Structure 1
Amino acid sequence: MNSMIWEERLKAYRTQFSPIVPYEKSDKLLLMDFTAENKELNEEMVKDTERFTKYINNLLSAAGARYGIGGYNECRTIYSRSDLFDKSRPVVNELQHQVVDTKEEPRCIHLGVDIWGKPYTKVIAPLDGIVHSFAFNNGFGDYGATIILTHNMEGNTFHTLYGHLSLNSIKNIQEGDRVKAGDVFAEFGIPFENGQWPPHLHFQVIIDMEGRKGDYPGVCAPSEKEKYLNNCPDPELLLNLNKQ
């Protein structure tokens, strides 16, 4: 089932989903831009977690916003902060017996929505599900503590991924645990446990996990955009944060 069909299904149920973070209609949200259009960002800043965190907090404070949101299908510059997204790999020329250092295509297309906010912000299940898997993806720039839930809608399953959580979020859970809509089951992590990012939640909808557990790409290369967006519908269909 492709993403267009799933989007129609999610739209039909969107008024029934619980908010994913504590949220009142009076709360102000700030749409955040991490593309090349944002001239305030530079590579030196985003590689320094403390400076990057201050930048996020200052933006939220200046806007009087509880959360910063955005990022789906956004080509971002901030992934230059980590080799996880922009690697060089050795390629051997078998005829000349030489190693040629070539650069892989950088990954920059964001496949989820980020919600930037305060450390330990509660994360709430949008609908009933079970714990599919979880992991501590502890590389610099990675998800850190991560939980993936499986949901069933009209006899079809799909998944939601929650990245950049606290280690406490994965401390006492097991695969197969049931989670009900409205349950608080996790919280935003701080840099040492969330992949060295300013506190936020990466939320992603995934149709087919492709055999993966505890992890799924949240960023893809431009050449893979069509494939991944087809498997990862717009999370706003569940979030409803733009509905004020």
Structure 2
Amino acid sequence: MSLTPLAAVIQKNQHVFHKVVPFEAGKNKLHAFDFTQANTALTPAIINNTNAFSNYINQTLQDSYASYGIGGYNEHREIYNRSTHFNTTETGEPRRLHLGIDIWGPAGTPVYAPMGGMVHSFAYNNEYGDYGATIILMHQLEGLAFYTLYGHLSLKDISVISEGNYITIGQEFAHFGPPEENGQWPPHLHFQIIEMLEWKKGDYPGVCKLSERDKYLQNCPNPDLILQMMQYAV
């Protein structure tokens, strides 16, 4: 799939972005997680128990000597079987294709703004398996407007902001939330780029139906265009 105009502009400006999490290439190790059917170690018993799932993430990172885990863009995942939130569609086709990149690490891990932007909206999407605390920033780059979504945050992060607040590049504005605040997931950040938000506020699908893959991937470019972290994942 060729780059959309937005993706091309983001790629052109990669040198200006601030890191989104405190990752240092050459110092910190990144583990590439696979949540497709190919990962037979991730059993339903683990997926369906938040504590067991968290222990799996933590043990894998420890065994890999990794500071963070990462991955998931355009990945067809089985882990969404754990929640009916991803099964309720008009056609009956479940949502399984992931549209962001997940960065797995300890609760409380800081999240920084990759570029200046305005707080567009925020919400507490508290259904089991949903984002939990969520912030959406609006940006402009070479005249193109777009959004970045940060899911699975700490509740305190959405208690101290207001719509219209300006967030400066590199500002620490959020943190990985604990399971009880992030939709009952092991602590991580869901980071997603969105071109058209479709009038939504504080929420946008981070997982789509496989039949709608092309539509959503066009609207949600690869988040690694900003993160620039996948090259370090092993």
TM (norm. structure 2) is 0.95
Within 5 Å, give how 1:140-179 maps onto structure 2.
Answer: 140-179=128-167
Instruction: Please report how far the alpha carbon of residue 68 of structure 1 lies from its aligned counterpart in structure 2 after TM superposition.
Output: 0.3
Question: Partner of 1:211: helix, strand, or coil?
Answer: coil
2:29 corresponds to? 28
**Which amino acid is the alignment partner of residue 30 of structure 2?**
L
1:57 corresponds to? 58
- The structure that has the greater radius of gyration is 1
Question: Partner of 2:103: helix, strand, or coil?
Answer: strand
Matched, 1:125 2:113: yes
2:38 corresponds to? 37
| Number of matched pairs | 230
2:7 corresponds to? 7
In 2, the alpha carbon distance for the partners of 1:62 and 1:243 equals 20
2:98 corresponds to? 110
Which of 197, 207, 222 pairs up with 1:209? Answer: 197
Which of 214, 218, 230 pairs up with 1:230? Answer: 218
Unaligned runs of 5+ in 1: 90-102
In 2, the alpha carbon distance for the partners of 1:31 and 1:138 equals 27
In 2, the alpha carbon distance for the partners of 1:130 and 1:40 equals 41
Range that drifts further, 42-51 or 143-152: 42-51
In 1, the alpha carbon distance for the partners of 2:124 and 2:88 equals 21
Instruction: Please report how far the alpha carbon of residue 31 of structure 1 lies from its aligned counterpart in structure 2 after TM superposition.
Output: 0.5
1:46 corresponds to? 47
- Kindly tell me: are residues 158 and 88 of structure 1, through their superposed partners in 2, closer, same or farther at Cα, counting changes over 3 Å? closer
Instruction: Please report how far the alpha carbon of residue 241 of structure 1 lies from its aligned counterpart in structure 2 after TM superposition.
Output: 1.0
1:75 corresponds to? 76
Instruction: Please report how far the alpha carbon of residue 242 of structure 1 lies from its aligned counterpart in structure 2 after TM superposition.
Output: 2.8
CA deviation profile, 1:198-227 (whole Å, cap 9, x unmatched): 000000000000000000000000111111
In 2, the alpha carbon distance for the partners of 1:20 and 1:49 equals 25
Question: Partner of 2:84: helix, strand, or coil?
Answer: coil
Range that drifts further, 234-243 or 213-222: 234-243
CA contact (8 A) 1:3 1:232 kept: no
Instruction: Please report how far the alpha carbon of residue 87 of structure 1 lies from its aligned counterpart in structure 2 after TM superposition.
Output: 3.4
Unaligned runs of 5+ in 2: none
**Which amino acid is the alignment partner of residue 168 of structure 2?**
K
In 2, the alpha carbon distance for the partners of 1:216 and 1:210 equals 9
Instruction: Please report how far the alpha carbon of residue 156 of structure 1 lies from its aligned counterpart in structure 2 after TM superposition.
Output: 1.3
Question: Partner of 1:115: helix, strand, or coil?
Answer: strand
TM (norm. structure 1) is 0.92
In 2, the alpha carbon distance for the partners of 1:180 and 1:104 equals 42
- Kindly tell me: are residues 243 and 39 of structure 1, through their superposed partners in 2, closer, same or farther at Cα, counting changes over 3 Å? closer
CA contact (8 A) 2:99 2:206 kept: yes
In 2, the alpha carbon distance for the partners of 1:30 and 1:213 equals 32
Within 5 Å, give how 1:177-216 maps onto structure 2.
Answer: 177-216=165-204
CA contact (8 A) 1:127 1:181 kept: yes
- Extract structure 1 runs of 4+ deviating beyond 4 A: none
CA contact (8 A) 1:3 1:231 kept: no
